[in-house]
Structure 1
Amino acid sequence: MTGPKIEWHLFASWENFRRNTVLVLSEPSTYLPAMRQSVFLEPVFNVLLLFPFGIYLRYYFRLSFVKTVIASFCLSLFFELTQLSGLYFIYPRPYRLFDVNDLLTNTIGGTLGFIMTPIFTFMLPTRARMDEVSYERGKTVSLTRRAVAYLIDWSFLSVLTFFIALSLQLTLSVGDITSSSWWIFLEVILYFMIVPYLTNGLTLGKKIVRIRVIQENRERLSFKALVIRYGYLYFLFYGLGWLNQMLQQVTNHTTGVLQVSGIFVILGISFAQFIFVLNIILSFLRKKRVLFYEKASHTHTISTIKVKNDNE
């Protein structure tokens, strides 16, 4: 972009429309062609951009007219400043013109959304009812919610592992020790056993999705229950996988009965891993929320979401 960076001329879009539109009010045949022109479409879409925003602010957040106008203007200003700064100085120049007319039309859109909210929301439930349903659903710990916590935890561990490996290489000039199998076992022990024991059932992922692990008939989790729970979950699956790899290396260098025996053991381990994965998949499909490793450890996952009182 090598042209002007800022358009300060207010109502320039209106003047541009008047100069270039093919619209003739006395000739209905010009209406549709005029609506296809960019001088019409650009301001109209700028109005429509924040129209739902105005509805949302009034309907869900119950903002007043003045607050909705201010919020719409501020959101539009955020868009324009993002463009003017070249995506916060990632680019050397603005990637789009900062236009005060966009501020005007966006703000008008949010304002119109506020005014017309009753037309679009009279059939929708009230905010109180939506909150009630949300809190009710929040009490249920779905397998999807647990899967999200799992992904957050392992993403965090991956980032942490990267920085640990980088630090060790820079300071001690050692190789990448974090890629070995024992490192995964160490992560499981430290993060999924010791941390939940100290926090009484919480990890970073569980904290974010607002769930925790508890033990039956106990206020605090025992370390033994965590060892059984995550031993079944991680050591059984990954341990079998590690053992499978070791046996494959052994059978590649053996012959006769020993090799055949090794192959049968490998097939047995693979079948056990298949049953492990199948159990989790079937539990997900049947919406069965207590998995086999929870039964073995007498632990289960609960929601930490608490229903707010009306006075809060």
Structure 2
Amino acid sequence: MGYVQVIKTAVLLFPILALIISLPVFIRQYHKYQAFVFWRGIMIYSFVFYMLVAYCLIILPLPDIQAVANLKTPTYNLHLFQFITEFKNETPLIVSKPQTYLQTLKSASFVQPLFNLFLTIPFGVYLRYYFKRSFKQVLVLGVLLSLFFELTQLTGLYGIYPRSYRLFDVDDLLLNTLGAVFGFLLTPAMTFLFPTQDKLSQKAGSLKSQVSLIRRSVALVTDMLALGIIDSIISGALKTAQVNGSELISKVITIVILFVVVPLFKGQTIGKWAVKIKMVDARDGTKPGFWQLIFRQFELYGVIIPFMTVATPYVLALSGRIAEDKLTQLYFLSIFMLFLNLLFVGYLVWQAFKPSPILFYERWSKTKQVSQITEEES
């Protein structure tokens, strides 16, 4: 598997990993900076993506376990600067003959060390620009990251393989560490057009009172994760008790607890509490009433989200399971449902340009969301 294929693999895995890793980071944004700045989000996502690609590059392709067990090749190299010796012995470079340059640039003895150097240059850039680490810290973290990579290879992917299928190489440790250091030194030249951390903090200060769609989306994803965890616990308990319809009962109970009972106290779900926003009555700013809250939550969690995530995929999947004479009706129903989904997505995109949008289901229930941070400071 070439490097390009590894990157493609990372692109497929990235959304899942980004959701797991970035969500707590986004939540921390609201507690540390009291707001979410889009550029910080870009940096977090790109850093997660870079680390995923780097990790995939050092473990992929995954060979057959039996083939690894039969290997007789060395598992480590402790001779420093061996890559220089290999470059001299294995490349056709003759300085006085330019025709040997291109072939030299294509040789493994040149590409492999260069790859190990370039692999960690972005790491040094991120550490200095975004995480504001010092030179000594970047040096130490560069050594630790490189050591992590090499130990991953030496242990045969943490014991999954009977032995190492890639060489533990001290030259790689050196080159990876140098890459991080070069990244640190090159940061001013590579990021002079990017906003400084001070400017990002100033931007965050101006966004404290806004309840943007990004902020609300982080709250929603957090709520969905909480829903999945609590639902699995309740469902497991009901199955153990051999209750009929345990999965449906569990989902109903979990939804009522998380999205009706919990918000009754302070107008917040778990996700809204995490990003410091709350639901209020749009007319007077007080806590929404019981039926007002029921209506709002039913619109979102009982109609809109199930329609998009359950009903639409179900109808689209029916094409291979129903009689042929009903396919025409199914076709028009599918088009209609997809149209409604696209209409809602387009509506969200339109609302995303507003600092604190009030969506249609909130207008119908006469509710809105406000920043709790502003209330705490006043």
TM-score norm. by structure 1 comes to 0.73
Equivalent in the alignment of 2:52: none
Tell me, in whole angstroms, the C-alpha distance in 2 between the residues paired with 1:137 and 1:40: 49
Match of 1:24 among 90, 94, 102: 94
Find out whether 1:293 has 2:357 as its counterpart.
Answer: no
Match of 1:203 among 260, 264, 269: 269
Alpha-carbon offset, residue 50 of structure 1: 1.1
Match of 1:7 among 58, 77, 98: 77
Alpha-carbon offset, residue 58 of structure 1: 2.3
Cα separation, partners in 2 of 1:84 and 1:202, compared to 1, 3 Å: farther
Equivalent in the alignment of 1:194: 261
Higher deviation after alignment, 105-114 or 217-226: 217-226
Higher deviation after alignment, 67-76 or 280-289: 280-289
Find out whether 1:94 has 2:164 as its counterpart.
Answer: yes
Alpha-carbon offset, residue 236 of structure 1: 5.4
Contact 2:279 2:287 in 1 (8 A): no
Higher deviation after alignment, 137-146 or 149-158: 137-146
Alpha-carbon offset, residue 107 of structure 1: 0.7
Instruction: Indicate the SS of the match to 2:278.
Output: strand
Contact 1:185 1:235 in 2 (8 A): no
Tell me, in whole angstroms, the C-alpha distance in 2 between the residues paired with 1:57 and 1:229: 43
Q: Which amino acid aligns with 1:229?
A: R
Higher deviation after alignment, 1-10 or 275-284: 275-284
Find out whether 1:73 has 2:139 as its counterpart.
Answer: no
Tell me, in whole angstroms, the C-alpha distance in 2 between the residues paired with 1:17 and 1:105: 15
Contact 1:16 1:39 in 2 (8 A): yes
Tell me, in whole angstroms, the C-alpha distance in 1 between the residues paired with 2:273 and 2:159: 34
Match of 1:233 among 273, 295, 300: 300
Aligned pairs for 1:260-299 within 5 A? 280-287=344-351, 289-299=357-367
Match of 1:168 among 232, 238, 252: 238
Cα separation, partners in 2 of 1:178 and 1:40, compared to 1, 3 Å: same
Contact 1:83 1:96 in 2 (8 A): yes
Find out whether 1:119 has 2:183 as its counterpart.
Answer: no
Q: Which amino acid aligns with 2:349?
A: L
Tell me, in whole angstroms, the C-alpha distance in 1 between the residues paired with 2:246 and 2:128: 55
Aligned pairs for 1:33-182 within 5 A? 33-134=103-204, 136=206, 140-170=210-240, 172-179=241-248
Contact 2:155 2:163 in 1 (8 A): yes
Cα separation, partners in 2 of 1:151 and 1:18, compared to 1, 3 Å: same
Instruction: Indicate the SS of the match to 1:87.
Output: coil
Q: Which amino acid aligns with 1:167?
A: A
Cα separation, partners in 2 of 1:74 and 1:194, compared to 1, 3 Å: same
Instruction: Indicate the SS of the match to 1:212.
Output: strand
Cα separation, partners in 2 of 1:142 and 1:9, compared to 1, 3 Å: same
Alpha-carbon offset, residue 219 of structure 1: 5.5
Tell me, in whole angstroms, the C-alpha distance in 1 between the residues paired with 2:229 and 2:193: 46
Equivalent in the alignment of 2:8: none
Alpha-carbon offset, residue 77 of structure 1: 1.3
Equivalent in the alignment of 2:35: none
- Identity over aligned pairs, percent: 38
Alpha-carbon offset, residue 149 of structure 1: 3.4
Q: Which amino acid aligns with 1:202?
A: Q
Alpha-carbon offset, residue 120 of structure 1: 1.8
Contact 1:280 1:291 in 2 (8 A): no
Higher deviation after alignment, 114-123 or 296-305: 296-305
Tell me, in whole angstroms, the C-alpha distance in 2 between the residues paired with 1:11 and 1:303: 57
Tell me, in whole angstroms, the C-alpha distance in 1 between the residues paired with 2:110 and 2:338: 60
Alpha-carbon offset, residue 18 of structure 1: 1.5
Instruction: Indicate the SS of the match to 1:58.
Output: helix
1:221-261: per-residue Cα shift (whole Å, max 9, x none)?
54443223213334456999xxx9xxxxxxxxxxxxxxxxx
Instruction: Look at both structures and tell me which one has the larger radius of gyration over its CA atoms.
Output: 1
Contact 1:135 1:305 in 2 (8 A): no
1:129-156: per-residue Cα shift (whole Å, max 9, x none)?
1333355467543435434533442343
CA RMSD of aligned residues (A): 3.5
Contact 1:53 1:113 in 2 (8 A): yes
Cα separation, partners in 2 of 1:66 and 1:144, compared to 1, 3 Å: closer
